[in-house]
Structure 1
């Protein structure tokens, strides 16, 4: 039974799985079409799905479970650190983490793999161009969407993320396994389409945006990063996020934290369309403008790009893959870009010293 027939069998009104495969108009290679059976009855509609957001590459956990139950082959990738994967993952899932799909030969970290490098990664894990790939992660789909953004860029058409990732899967009562995926025989992977660059912004695009009033530059980092102030994370003090070369932001950028789009205090699913529209409108992010999103290394901004394009239907949104790492590298090493700061270097040092003193005093008090 192929996946398209499966979605018809379950007949869940409005489910994105059916929308996705209808849009792709593809079937699994070698799959046979079963005869229709008059005894086949539709499963009851899950009322909770009616209020959830929909997207052409977004599946609910119940839809993913239906794929497993169908016996239809597909590939599953968990994007997480190894220790999180080993504590439990979806059946058959293989494990990638950021270093596996970062590269490209840059002088700084965080950049995407080249198309050839990405093809080699997929092929080495037995993934072929015809495979349907489901990607999920452990934090509001942010890493899953970054990976899917790369699949989209290089032309792998059959793909989706799972709304809420592992948190939603567990919250909905589905089981995890600690059994590692069987090792797949490598295949030769070749992308079947040219690069799809509509959602990619280059360094030159970002420079041009500084002078273009029709472009909104959107910073999707944490408030402390946007403000350019030192911060404390898990007891350690940081002048700015590791991997960057200095503090600050790209001049003129508006701010909206990527995580405002998801329920990180709950099951990590996307917020309602009403809430999403309200948050972006309040931040001045409107669909009549071109939008370039950035963060530290293109991960969080890929998430925001997905929300704006696939969930809210904004027509022109791009992810600046170099993001603050590349921009701050240029500022420090070439001096050919400007930065915007709320405090100067002297004040930054004073605040960092104060945080360090506070952290030291707290540690001494605990001893």
Structure 2
């Protein structure tokens, strides 16, 4: 019996240690570091929502401020421009960065991916977002947080971001899987849209929201592994993620890379919006 308990405890510790690699942080663990001068909390919620209420000491970064919208909407500004904006918000690449949103994971995931792309070393998403914070009865405020500008030194990870030409070349390769993280209705072309309906030929659909559970927390490693395996999204393949503008791809990127240790995951920043904007590109 004692031997059984020891083995069970070792397995439990192993699972916990493995899960700790995922780039999420609980409210309990965030509270342990929140007063550290090298920790910064980012609200990725819309500016209007931030003004209504936000977690104490959170600074607001609107993902839309990081885009040029050229040649199509939601494409990133240059690394130098992004670094300047991040620095003005008190964010440096060496800080412990924690991000939250209203719970969808869309905007926190997008900022997570951008920050990692820019070379930030330690970025995590607050598990459960605002709901978890309020459930723990922790302080919120309407007062904007004071920002002490700093310098963000970019060290761009070019391998995280691919362009249209790369996707065209990769499409049809049996070692590559194109994953569209939009809703099934968008993917199937049954949702009203101002752009061409449909999907990139050869892509598969896995809506971004499925990596989170009903409490808006990242699903367990086992649940995620089962989810992606069922879709044929396996670690031996190169995975290219996108949605309409790739905002929704970020949270899926985080789940694959940090919870499941997938070695070759990229985001197509131009996304379906860029793809369909070129008449010569077929949609299905």
TM-score, with structure 2 as normaliser: 0.87
Separation in 2, partners of 1:304, 1:217: 13
Partner of 2:206: 256
Count how many residue pairs are aligned between Structure 1 and Structure 2. Answer: 273
Separation in 2, partners of 1:252, 1:93: 41
1:156-167 residue pairs with structure 2 within 5 A?
Answer: 156-167=120-131
Q: CA deviation at 1:270?
A: 0.9
Q: Name structure 1 gaps, 5 residues minimum.
A: 1-46, 231-238, 341-367
Separation in 1, partners of 2:175, 2:36: 49
Moved more, 131-140 or 77-86: 131-140
Partner of 1:246: 196
Q: Name structure 2 gaps, 5 residues minimum.
A: 1-12
Structure 1 residues 50 and 288, CA gap change in structure 2 (3 angstroms): closer
1:201 aligns with 2:166: no
Partner of 2:119: 155
1:57 aligns with 2:37: no
Partner of 2:46: 81
Q: CA deviation at 1:53?
A: 4.3
Q: CA deviation at 1:299?
A: 1.3
Question: Do the aligned residues in 2 keep the contact of 1:102 with 1:111 (CA within 8 Å)?
Answer: yes
Q: CA deviation at 1:56?
A: 4.9
Which aligned segments of 4 or more residues in structure 1 are displaced greater than 6 angstroms? Answer: none
Q: CA deviation at 1:224?
A: 0.5
Q: From 69, 73, 91, give the equivalent of 1:127.
A: 91
Question: Do the aligned residues in 1 keep the contact of 2:83 with 2:153 (CA within 8 Å)?
Answer: yes
Q: From 217, 232, 238, give the equivalent of 1:290.
A: 238
1:154-233 residue pairs with structure 2 within 5 A?
Answer: 154-184=118-148, 186-191=149-154, 193=155, 195-230=156-191
Q: Deviations over 1:128-174 (max 9, x none)?
A: 34332221111232211211211111212132221222222222332
Secondary structure, aligned partner of 2:140? coil
Question: Do the aligned residues in 1 keep the contact of 2:109 with 2:249 (CA within 8 Å)?
Answer: no
Larger radius of gyration: 1
Separation in 2, partners of 1:178, 1:57: 28
TM-score, with structure 1 as normaliser: 0.69
Structure 1 residues 318 and 165, CA gap change in structure 2 (3 angstroms): same
RMSD value, Cα: 2.5
Structure 1 residues 56 and 303, CA gap change in structure 2 (3 angstroms): closer
